[in-house]
Structure 1
Amino acid sequence: MSRSFKPYPFSPRRYGGAVPPLVDGRDPVRRSVAIVGGGPVGMTLALALARQGVRSVLIEADDSVCTGSRAICISRRSLEILKRLGAVEGFLQKGLPWTGGRSFYRDAEVFRFSMHQDDEQSLPPMINIAQYQIEQFLLDELERHADLIEIRWQTRVTAIGQRAASDASRGATLDLQTGDTAWQMEADWVVACDGGRSTIREALGLKLTGTTYEGRYVIVDIELHSDRATERLAYFDPPSNPGSTVLVHKQPDNVWRIDYQLRDDEDPQAAVEPGNVMPRVQSVLDAMGETGEWSPIWITVYKANALTLERYRHGSVLFAGDAAHLVPIFGVRGANSGIDDADNLGWKLGCVVNGIASPELLDSYSDERVFAARENLSYGMKSTEFMAPPTFAFELMRSAVLGLAERHAAVRPLINPRQTHPIAYVQSPLNRAAAEATESQFTHGAAPGSVLPECPLKSIRDGELLDMHLTDLLAPCFTALRFSADASQESAWRDMQEDLASRAIPFQRNHRGSCKRRGQR
């Protein structure tokens, strides 16, 4: 079968590599923060720092945003973060929202799941959008902050050196290569967002630990016009690919993403040859009842890993995203966990650079995000072991579950892909004492370390009544919500504000008089 490849319906901008003015091969300007890697995680971190007035330089080896769909599902939690950074509008306009999915065993539907969505929420639980679009929307926002964010395209890190912890200046030196020019840059802090093959991680001699799975998936992007609804589709042991698993996601611009598992006896290199991929894709579409014309766009192969560093802070170097952890794609935790890394690190590193907090605050970034990675890995591993059984015992269990699921509802939850969810930092050193102190006072609502729950509000601004949501009140500062009009609290409320102001800690206050839950009078 012969089919010609089509380009993506997207034309990325290309950027040249430029070297700053050098003195003896060194950039004389010492940077506060150097971010290595211009993918979704690095760009989100640069935006988070810019919102606090912190300058950063983003170092990217390529000349544009990425090629291929790669990460395709952005969660509500990630959208909330992007909303706070002022970058969410393009995502909501382009992305395809969805709330659930279906799983099939051979020809029968055996499981259906839905994610939480109601009138309380301001954002969909999930949108489908390709990574090249994710990166372009983030880049658009970065370029609106050119006074704070410098991007060095076509620049590679070749080595890194750190000063001893006893050195008052601390920081790190990056050896860089832009075209034929080798040069150096010094930075107070370096954040490695340079992906699963992290140059920074390798240069520091650090190793990811955990589980690597042998099973491989072929990932294919195709162009297909279809009116089918957007949902996650999983096919176990389908006629089109006996003995394995197929995942299908609809993306914007008539692009579809199809992932199918290779059998153990298939050669991964031969498996991505178009002559082997095209018949497999056609059989998947035939089984789905899709009869429209289609064309391939991009093909790659994927191997699941469940790995993490033990610590994400090493002196003046911090790790985020795939440089820190590799999470299986099942449950869409890869890019979403990386965006959460950037959000957590962004405000803490901003506080350190701005002199509001000591560098020890960054240890809590490592504590919280290593905890989150391990939770994400535990769910990702369960999903991986069901999607692609690593042993005969797992395969036997899966066959039994799928065989029973059509008639026995009790076993269907075992098919659940365990979609990504916000992580509660219940053991964080930042809230452990507060949690113990308030345990007897608060018996309902979110616990310390939990993500702020969403709810609709009405706000009075300049005499006008406005509809909004609780997350709209958040800003790049500490925010206090006051729910009581008790006059006896006025003194403590005022003392808190004066104390924070005396230490130049950014702070805003909201009280019940100006914001009411919708329906309240």
Structure 2
Amino acid sequence: MAYEYKPFPYIPPPGLTASEPRHPAAIVGAGPIGLALAIDLALKGIRAVVLDDNDVVSVGSRAICWAKRTLEIFDRLGVGERMLAKGVTWKVGRNFHGADEIYNFDLLPEQGHKYPAFINLQQYYVEQYLVERAQALGVDLRFRNTVTGHVSRDDHVALSVQTPDGSYTLEAEYLCACDGAKSPTRERMGLAFEGQTFDEHFLIVDVEMPESPFGTDTPERWFWFRPPFHPGQSALLHKQPDNIYRIDLQLGPDTDPAEEATEEKVLPRLKAIVGDKPFRLDWMSVYKFRCARLERFLHGRVIFVGDSAHVVSPFGARGGNGGIQDVDNLGWKLAAVLLGEAEHTLLQSYDAERGYASDENILHSTRATNFMTPKSPVEAMFRDEVLRMAHDHSFARRLVNSGRLSLPCSLAGFGLQTPGSGPLAPGHAMVDAPLTDGWLIEKVQGRFVLVGFGEVALPDVPGLDRLGVGAVAGYPCVSPEGSLAFDRYGAGYAYLFRPDGHIAAVFDKPTRDTVEQALNRALGKVDRMAA
């Protein structure tokens, strides 16, 4: 493969020779989700221990599409700019029926955001950057430490861990299962993973090509229904760094995965797509997928995060992005509980909010997959008629579904948000805007902060930071670059932002009492809220 794999060192853990002090959190799995959660907790003063049965980053590119909101979270964690510099930026997608383009779309038509709509970056790079960031923060990373069992207690979880030098036990106040779609933690607990399994097989191939198959140097997402080079099926093409191109080919439900994942089968398929252009096969895999989830993500002191809690099809880039947004939601809540700033019950809001987001992702993913692979004559007729009409009619183009791409989930109506209205309503994920000295996301994320836009006075609330945008006051103020901040948030409004960037409350005349009530509500302290 083009990527040079270097095993991480195995270091004998202290638990092999002596009892370890109880850890605040044990994270099982050193993929993007587990590493991101460990970094998030470290930034809040919580030193978690990360246990992984492997010692290298992911083999194969796997998750490659990282959405704008996810990049903003990675920015807060300290790897966003590095990912942007290495990744392939794109925002235009094109859909084809046969050889004809039926429509295209622009995912970020407006300016004034630090991060683009999407970048493509192989998962192995993301994991590498996260490992290096975690090491710089002093996170306790333990490779080749396999969790073989756990027992939940009232105030902690006891884990059994196997290493090359033997086994040991470890205690943690919370166990975060970030151990993937085949989660051993979930299996040990006998938890049902309910949803829909799709029979179709898909071939993923990473191909190294010095010459772009797009016919242009501008990277785009190309999706074909019934392309001339792959009759009767669908195909997807993306560019990644290092002149690597991701090609997904639908194979049908009756194919033999072992037979299809061979050069004898794959090379002719690739030549049919790229023609005489030189290429090198870098990695390939044949897969089927599910849209499924746990009924609950919180089980006492065991918390499921990312693919261990929910899985979707790859079309729409909702898997990795959804997992990182799980981390964004959970990290500050778990830290608040561990630091004694909130009760354990606050974690129930993680289950509620991210369960809702999971349902939304599964809905979009299932609809896209059913459109691409119709399961009945009626569904097939609908899909074929939509594609036929999309050549000439704009209304039909809106019905073409090759994967509705990942967007942040609104948390409007959930219990941590104070009801209210404004240009952006409570529950909405923050929208970036340019400042004269940077970007709004850089000033807001990672803590509770009350932000006023324009001439609105911000009350002094103990334990709450204040920020004025376009104001002069006795607390930190910044200047907007142009009018976009006011266009997006409205002059004269104040917003209480949660550490994950979601809006907890909106005020036109904030007072100390109303802001303090909203802050307590956002921390789950309902007993302190006014009636």
TM-score (normalizing by structure 2): 0.86
| Rounded Cα–Cα distance in structure 2 between residues aligned with 1:350 and 1:280 | 50
The answer to whether the 8 A contact 1:26-1:184 is kept is: no
The answer to whether the 8 A contact 1:117-1:125 is kept is: no
| Rounded Cα–Cα distance in structure 2 between residues aligned with 1:162 and 1:172 | 4
The answer to whether the 8 A contact 2:179-2:185 is kept is: yes
| Rounded Cα–Cα distance in structure 1 between residues aligned with 2:318 and 2:114 | 21
1:508 aligns with 465
Deviation track 1:403-444 (CA, whole Å, cap 9, x = no partner) reads: 22112222011114311101001232211xx11xx3xxx3x3
2:334 aligns with 349
**Percent sequence identity over matched residues?**
36
The answer to whether the 8 A contact 2:198-2:288 is kept is: yes
Gaps in structure 1 of 5+ consecutive residues: 1-6, 459-465, 501-506
| Rounded Cα–Cα distance in structure 1 between residues aligned with 2:148 and 2:168 | 10
Deviation track 1:3-35 (CA, whole Å, cap 9, x = no partner) reads: xxxx22x22331233332337x77422111100
The answer to whether the 8 A contact 1:56-1:150 is kept is: yes
Alignment of 1:53-132 (within 5 A): 53-132=45-124
Stretch deviating more after TM superposition (10-19 or 94-103): 10-19
Where relative contact order (Cα < 8 A, 6+ residues apart) is larger, the structure is 1
Aligned equivalent of 2:439, options 469, 475, 480: 469
| Rounded Cα–Cα distance in structure 2 between residues aligned with 1:110 and 1:485 | 48
The answer to whether the 8 A contact 1:17-1:178 is kept is: no
| Rounded Cα–Cα distance in structure 2 between residues aligned with 1:387 and 1:351 | 43
| Rounded Cα–Cα distance in structure 1 between residues aligned with 2:185 and 2:290 | 19
Alignment of 1:48-447 (within 5 A): 48-146=40-138, 149-163=139-153, 165=154, 170-227=155-212, 228=216, 229-286=218-275, 291-416=276-401, 417-431=403-417, 434-435=418-419, 438=420, 442=421, 444-447=422-425
SS at match of 2:14: coil
Deviation at 1:475, TM superposition (A): 4.4
The answer to whether the 8 A contact 1:457-1:470 is kept is: yes
SS at match of 1:414: coil
- CA shift in 2, pair 1:265/1:22, >3 Å: closer
Deviation track 1:354-387 (CA, whole Å, cap 9, x = no partner) reads: 1111111111011100000000111111111112
| Rounded Cα–Cα distance in structure 1 between residues aligned with 2:19 and 2:123 | 32
Stretch deviating more after TM superposition (129-138 or 113-122): 113-122
SS at match of 1:265: coil
Deviation track 1:77-134 (CA, whole Å, cap 9, x = no partner) reads: 0010011111112101100110121111111111211102422211100001111011
Stretch deviating more after TM superposition (68-77 or 180-189): 180-189
2:13 aligns with 20
The answer to whether the 8 A contact 2:224-2:236 is kept is: yes
| Rounded Cα–Cα distance in structure 1 between residues aligned with 2:131 and 2:192 | 30
The answer to whether the 8 A contact 1:26-1:185 is kept is: no
| Rounded Cα–Cα distance in structure 1 between residues aligned with 2:450 and 2:301 | 31
SS at match of 2:171: strand
| Rounded Cα–Cα distance in structure 1 between residues aligned with 2:341 and 2:183 | 30
| Rounded Cα–Cα distance in structure 2 between residues aligned with 1:179 and 1:319 | 27
| Rounded Cα–Cα distance in structure 2 between residues aligned with 1:126 and 1:411 | 25
The answer to whether the 8 A contact 1:111-1:415 is kept is: no
1:457 aligns with 435
Deviation at 1:141, TM superposition (A): 0.9
| Rounded Cα–Cα distance in structure 2 between residues aligned with 1:479 and 1:145 | 24
- CA shift in 2, pair 1:216/1:351, >3 Å: same
The answer to whether the 8 A contact 2:257-2:287 is kept is: no
2:509 aligns with none
The amino acid of 2:478's aligned partner reads: C
1:504 aligns with none
Deviation at 1:274, TM superposition (A): 1.6
| Rounded Cα–Cα distance in structure 1 between residues aligned with 2:112 and 2:207 | 36
SS at match of 2:288: strand
Deviation at 1:485, TM superposition (A): 4.4
| Rounded Cα–Cα distance in structure 2 between residues aligned with 1:22 and 1:36 | 16
| Rounded Cα–Cα distance in structure 2 between residues aligned with 1:304 and 1:353 | 36
Stretch deviating more after TM superposition (391-400 or 170-179): 391-400
Deviation at 1:180, TM superposition (A): 4.8
TM-score (normalizing by structure 1): 0.88
The answer to whether the 8 A contact 1:18-1:178 is kept is: no
| Rounded Cα–Cα distance in structure 2 between residues aligned with 1:282 and 1:393 | 34
Deviation at 1:49, TM superposition (A): 0.4
The amino acid of 1:73's aligned partner reads: C
- CA shift in 2, pair 1:407/1:79, >3 Å: same
Deviation at 1:518, TM superposition (A): 2.2
SS at match of 2:46: coil
The answer to whether the 8 A contact 1:20-1:27 is kept is: no
- CA shift in 2, pair 1:245/1:475, >3 Å: closer
Cα root mean square deviation, aligned: 1.7
The answer to whether the 8 A contact 2:233-2:249 is kept is: yes
